[in-house]
Amino acid sequence: MVAGLLTVALLFFVVAQAAVTRSGGQSAADAAALAAAQEAADHFLDDFLAAADRAAAEDGDREEGEDGEDDGENGENPGDEDAGEDEDPGRDEELDEDLEDILDGDDPVTGPACQAAARLAADNDADLTACELAGDRPGFHVRVETHDTVGNSLLPGTEDRTATAEATAVIDGLCRLDTDEEPDEDGHIRLSCDEDRNWSIDPGDADQLPEARDLFKVYLED
């Protein structure tokens, strides 16, 4: 009877140890998925600020051109003035589309994101075995395998048995490009964001630029 009770106790220990190993694996998977999504969000921010710089430069070039036209007005043919009177090129529509695509989280970077996932998996005693885009939503799905095993027990094979776990992290854009009005004369990029957190971004003011968390929300998908 004592031997039977000991066997039951050891089996419970194996079950508990397996649960601990699985829990550690899930924590590693969650951390890896979040790391991948956050890395992609950081790259989106860099791309957005670079595109905002280009937009501001275009606005500045256009204003300089308009000033030059004003300076030469007295020497121009009236007919030429009328021909350009109704033309207002505004900001490049293609550039606006680029900004909107970035804010929507289109085409997240995979290389740096999955490298970040691998680092976080390793920090949590696991190996990253899969890292891929999360289907139709911006984000990443990862799979990890733990370094730890269930350990030695009466059950055969447990000494080499690891745990695997999967997780998905999603990137949600919080802002959209405000194109309802004409671009600001000062070249600022205006964003309408969730919770009425709006931005008027001057790419030249490094102290007032948004962070990735201001433009994107990263979270684990249930």
Q: How far apart are CA 162 and CA 18, in angstroms?
A: 9
**Residues of 45-82 as b/e, b for ≥16 C-beta within 10 angstroms?**
bebbbebbeebbebbeebeeeeeeeeeeeeeeeeeeee
209's tokens: 């630029």
Task: Kindly list the domain boundaries of the chain, sorted by start residue.
Answer: 2-76+90-220
Q: Given this model, what pLDDT does residue 168 score?
A: 98
- pTM score: 0.75
CB 170 within 8 A of CB 216: no
Between CA 128 and CA 130 the distance in angstroms is 6
Query: How would you write the pLDDT of the chain (222 residues) with one tens digit per residue?
Result: 545 545 555 455 455 555 556 778 999 999 999 999 999 999 999 999 998 888 777 655 555 555 555 555 555 555 555 544 444 455 567 878 889 999 999 999 999 999 999 999 999 999 999 999 998 899 999 999 999 875 554 445 556 678 899 999 999 999 998 876 555 556 688 899 987 788 888 877 878 899 999 999 999 997
DSSP letter, residue 72: T
The Cα–Cα gap between 148 and 127 comes to 11
CB–CB of 161/149 below 8 Å? yes
DSSP per position, 155-187 = STTGGG---EEEEEEEEEE-EEE--SSPPPTT-
